[in-house]
């Protein structure tokens, strides 16, 4: 189909920006704790420039993105068109340093690198 939930439509969305998040609500007003956690993690890294799609506005997209990633839950995070995972995976990547590396590959410098520098100076 050519609706917003079709594979082609979803693929366009995940490729339209280096960082794409499918969530409940918006970054300014997340409507679930897991979506909020994803927004907060990105904010910690200083990633303000990303695409967020509110699946609550679009049931077709909500189902379409689950089919596309073969992942049953929202939120979903995509880096460079690749499905990364949901809140728990992003949190794990945040904690083990992988997220800093993945962002670096996209040409995005994590704010946490600068934060660490500040701590070394003190």
Domain boundaries, the chain: 7-121
Percent of the chain exceeding pLDDT 70 equals 97
Decide yes or no: CATH 3.40.50.1000 for domain 7-121: no
For the CA atoms of 50, 56, 61, 64, what is the dihedral angle to 10 degrees?
110
What pLDDT band is residue 2 in, cutting at 50, 70 and 90? low
CA gap 28, 50 in Å, rounded:
13
Both structure tokens of 81? 């068109």
pTM equals: 0.93
Structure token digits, residue 108: 């995005």
> 87 among the known binding-site residues?
no
Strand partners, 76: 22
Taking the C-alpha atoms of residue 3 and residue 114, their distance in angstroms, rounded to an integer, is 43
Q: What is the pLDDT of residues 37-89, one digit of tens each?
A: 999 999 999 999 999 999 999 999 999 999 999 999 999 999 999 999 999 99
């Amino acid at each position: 189909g050519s609706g917003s939930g079709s594979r082609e439509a979803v693929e366009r969305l995940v490729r339209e920006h280096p960082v794409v998040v499918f969530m409940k609500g918006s970054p300014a007003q997340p409507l679930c704790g897991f979506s909020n956690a994803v927004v907060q993690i990105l904010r910690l890294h200083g990633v303000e420039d990303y695409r967020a799609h509110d699946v609550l506005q679009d049931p077709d997209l909500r189902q379409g993105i689950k089919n596309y990633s073969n992942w049953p839950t929202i939120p979903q995070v995509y880096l460079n068109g690749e499905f990364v995972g949901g809140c728990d995976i992003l949190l794990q990547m945040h904690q083990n340093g992988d997220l800093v590396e993945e962002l670096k590959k996209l040409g995005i410098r994590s704010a946490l690198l600068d934060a660490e520098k500040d701590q070394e100076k003190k």
